[in-house]
Amino acid sequence: MKKGKVKNKGKSEKIFVSLQSINNDIDMKIGIIVAMDKELGQLQQLFTDGNVIVRKCGIGKVNAALGAQQLINEFHPDIIISSGCAGGNGDDINIQDVIASSELTYHDVYCGTAIDNVTVYGQVQGLPARYQADARLLEKAKVLDCGVKVHPGLVVTGDWFVDTKEKMRSIIEKFPDAKAVDMESCAIAQTCYLNKVPFISFRIISDIPLRDTDASQYHDFWDHVAEHSFQVTKTFVESL
């Protein structure tokens, strides 16, 4: 796959370059972005191949977008994976399950109706209402044999750590089909969209806010559960 300077040609461009054009490349470069030091520490232990680079971007949408762009500029990855934890939603979702993003949007973006009446809640005007994960990456994730359950579904992103049932209900009211809520994935998806880099978010459920009180599940995840949870990310990369 030839590398070159990526130009943003405007909103009419296709969402992502297809992985199909690069899946036979034995030198495929894979970029993995995490938000926190404890996620970085887990994944750096698992990846020693020079073709897989794990970078910490920091928490939140701006940090995520900047980190993704820096990774693209410096490493020129063929694909990017957003890995880390998220709050889960749904009767079929449990802690340590994995959500593979089929779609991504923002739960805290609203451009209003003063300029047009077609931009929907969660959409940055002029950009997709929902970003689609690369189809071949998603298919790989769906059939992954990793000892945990992988759910394809909508990931919603915003600059808010969801630690109350009330906040989670307000998000799910607008996005009832959301499977996971995080603070970075859609910002990385938007950056990959503009740079035409295939992308998927691969999120481990650390807590279920509608079944939790004061983020106790989240803290318990890092105290007792997280140590082996990120092995699933390595299994996914090895399947590519």
- Residues assigned a catalytic role: 39, 207
Q: What is the CA radius of gyration of the chain?
A: 17
Q: At what angle do helices 61-75 and 185-195 cross, to 10 degrees?
A: 40
In whole angstroms, what is the distance from residue 39 CA to residue 43 CA? 6
E strand or H helix at 41: helix 37-44
Q: Hey, what are 212's tokens?
A: 């939790």
Neighbours of 204 (CB within 10 A): 25
Which residue type is seen at 198? P
DSSP 52: E
Task: Report the candidate in 188, 201, 199, 202 with the shortest Cα–Cα distance to residue 69.
Answer: 188
